[in-house]
Amino acid sequence: MDATPKHLTIINGRLFLPGASMGPRSGDAPTALVIEDGRISAVVSDDEALRLRHPRAEVIDAAGGSVLPGFDDAHIHVIPGGQWDGLLALRGAATVPELQARIAEYGAAHPELPWIWGGGWHYAAWGDAKPAKELLDAVLPDRPAMMTCMDGHSYWVNSAALRAAGIDRHTPDPVNGTIVRDPATGEPTGWLKEKAGQLIYRVMPEPTHHDLKLALRRAVQALNASGFTAVQDARTDPREVPVWREVLAEGGLTLRSRIALPMAPEQSLADWRTTLDEHEELVAPLRGGDWLTSGIVKGFVDGVIESRTAAMLAPYEGEESSGVPAFEPEQLTAFTVEAHRRGWQVQLHAIGDRAVRMALDAFEAAGRRRHRVEHVEVIHPEDVKRFAALDVVASMQPAHAFSAPDRAHDWHGVIGPERAAANWPMSAIHASGGVIALGSDWPVVDFDPFMTLHAAMSADHALTLPQALTAYGRGSAYAAHAEHRRGDVAVGMDADLVVLDRDLLDAGDVRGAGVMATIVDGVVVHRAAC
């Protein structure tokens, strides 16, 4: 980013101020912002803003549209999202024949690729069937192929991929992974769950450093164009940290970015201490930075409900299994306490109600440091108030609830109607005083902020639009320990803002809203074409 002073004046806007409500703007509400040196210096009327503005300041006319804190995606996978551009996209395919047709077309168009890699398929496309190698062999018989599920927790592979990875009926399941097998023969069926996917990744061609830089730059530009001014990368491979640093040094990182390093269960506590030493050395140059920071680690407590790998307190419908956590409870607590002791914030992927409880138990043992539970898709009612009591952030991605083609999730047949009714408990956590931070989990679902807002207002336990906007701004900033710098339209805050083409608070349906301008540090990093 340019280090020169940044001066802007925004007039004729519907400012989203702390405590804002729905409905038409009141006549005496401020409509303008004065921005100097990258910070908001005045929240005033249009006339006053024009009087106060810097002589060299650009004037942006919001034309009555909303002026909001820039969107801050609290849970996203930036480089993987950027890698998907141009790859085989299966999102939205509603049936297996549609999946096969897309795969066959892509394979025919790319005869030069030694591997075919795609992703985005949804469990709903399978109906009563399950991922099977024969169905992929039918359209890609000769080249190894892997199709990653939209949630990143299941993998559909063909026979050639299984051979390339040396996976057969004698291959043991990896730790925290499952090779789904034919019950009669023991042969792999072509469906891999959780860490079993790593058996394929280790033999696939790896992206180059240049590929990763292009993916990051591509993602940053797309996110800026959708109104994002900040992102919190939910799990950054340590090998990707130099990529982030290089793009920053080259001026291509026009998003406030925070990266979380991995906390893996496949190690001892002594190994974890060594890993923390390595993490601390890796991110030491990022401390105190305005654009790229860390200080947080990410662990997976469980999987996902659709593949029955989420850890539940009671068994899945029609099964004896309730899902197996990736960590033992004592191990999770010990790892969390150690990270906390050394000054790290911890975020834990926890979808099932047992996993959420394990995460909260670990945070209670560690102490208050604004730790985070990621996803929180099902929760036991007794655990709702613990978020506020422990100062734990509920980092949630409501668009997951609507990721199935043409319909919302239906979990009644998987976890039963009572638990299904407790999904995505945003309003309950909010009402109890807990902090909600919103994100997308892109590329699991699209990062479209208006879809996230719509989903947050449409789920069974919905937020109001002002609550959702607050969660997307102040809540996400709070999750990153950055609420003193961003997340509110107020004097002294960084000028990280988005100007929309309509007044969201008076528009009703938020879907389809457009971004007129995205402003980071007082600089317009995206402007809509006239």
pTM (predicted TM-score):
0.92
Residue 385 tokens read as 């108030």
pLDDT for the residue numbered 430: 97
pLDDT band at 4 (very low <50, low <70, confident <90, very high): low
From the CB of residue 329, how many other CB atoms can be counted at a distance below 10 Å?
A: 14
Secondary structure letter of residue 447 according to DSSP: -
Backbone angles phi, psi at 501, to 5 degrees: -85, 5
pLDDT for the residue numbered 422: 82
Which of 174, 176, 143, 177 lies closest to 161 in space, CA to CA? 143
DSSP codes joined into one string, 113-177 = -SSEEEEEE-GGGGTT----HHHHHTT-SSS-EEEEETTSSEEEE-HHHHHHHT-STTPPPPTTE
pLDDT for the residue numbered 523: 95
Residue 507 pLDDT > 90, yes or no?
no
Residue 198 pLDDT > 90, yes or no?
yes
Weakest-pLDDT range from 87-91, 109-113, 191-195, 275-279:
87-91
Query: In Å, what is the CA distance from 457 to each residue of 43, 68, 357, 387?
Result: 28, 18, 25, 21
Residue 478 pLDDT > 60, yes or no?
yes
Each residue's pLDDT tens digit, 350-391: 999 999 999 999 999 999 999 999 999 999 999 999 999 999
pLDDT for the residue numbered 407: 52
Each residue's pLDDT tens digit, 423-440: 889 999 999 999 999 999
Question: What type of residue sits at position 410?
Answer: D
pLDDT for the residue numbered 311: 97
What is the average pLDDT across 269-283?
A: 98
pLDDT band at 413 (very low <50, low <70, confident <90, very high): confident
Q: Using an 8 Å Cβ cutoff, are 135 and 106 in contact?
A: no
Percentage of the chain beyond pLDDT 70 is 96
Residue 258 tokens read as 């925070």
Residue 406 pLDDT > 60, yes or no?
no
What is the average pLDDT across 230-252?
A: 97
3-state secondary structure 450-481: HHHHHHHHHCCCCCCHHHHHHHHHHHHHHHCC
pLDDT band at 421 (very low <50, low <70, confident <90, very high): confident
Which residues, other chains included, contact 312 with Cβ-Cβ below 8 Å and sequence gap of 6+?
Answer: 322, 323, 352, 353, 354, 378, 415, 419
pLDDT for the residue numbered 404: 65
Each residue's pLDDT tens digit, 311-351: 999 999 999 999 999 999 999 999 999 999 999 999 999 99
Question: What type of residue sits at position 241?
Answer: V
Q: Using an 8 Å Cβ cutoff, are 372 and 346 in contact?
A: yes
